[in-house]
Amino acid sequence: MVYDLNLSRMTAGQGKAGNVVIQTQNFISRNSGVIGTTALSQGQGGNITINTSNTFELDSSFIGTGTLTDAESGNINLIVRQSNHY
């Protein structure tokens, strides 16, 4: 699985932003790819989980979760066998 696009979940109200779960053999994100969850108001940011059985590679890309208030952001869970970061 090669990503060079944006994948996001967001909430603008009190609810929690949705979770992002990716399970694949090889995860490669390039060319400013973004995976994120954001809460714009009082809701919590969603969790991001990436589970790879082989390679996890980030090349000029971003994985993040956050909020624009004092609400809790989500967690980032990486379950990988081999990791490459550029």
Which has the higher per-residue pLDDT, 19 or 4? 19
Q: Where are the domains of the chain?
A: 2-85
What's the pTM value of the predicted model, to 2 decimals? 0.82
3-state class (DSSP) for residue 75: coil
Burial class (CB in 10 A: 0-12, 13-18, 19+), 74: buried
Average pLDDT estimate for 11-35: 86
Q: Which of 4, 11, 2, 24 is nearest to 74 (CA)?
A: 11
**Helices (H), strands (E): how many in the chain?**
0, 10
- pLDDT tens figures, 32-73: 888 888 888 888 888 999 999 998 888 888 899 988 888 888
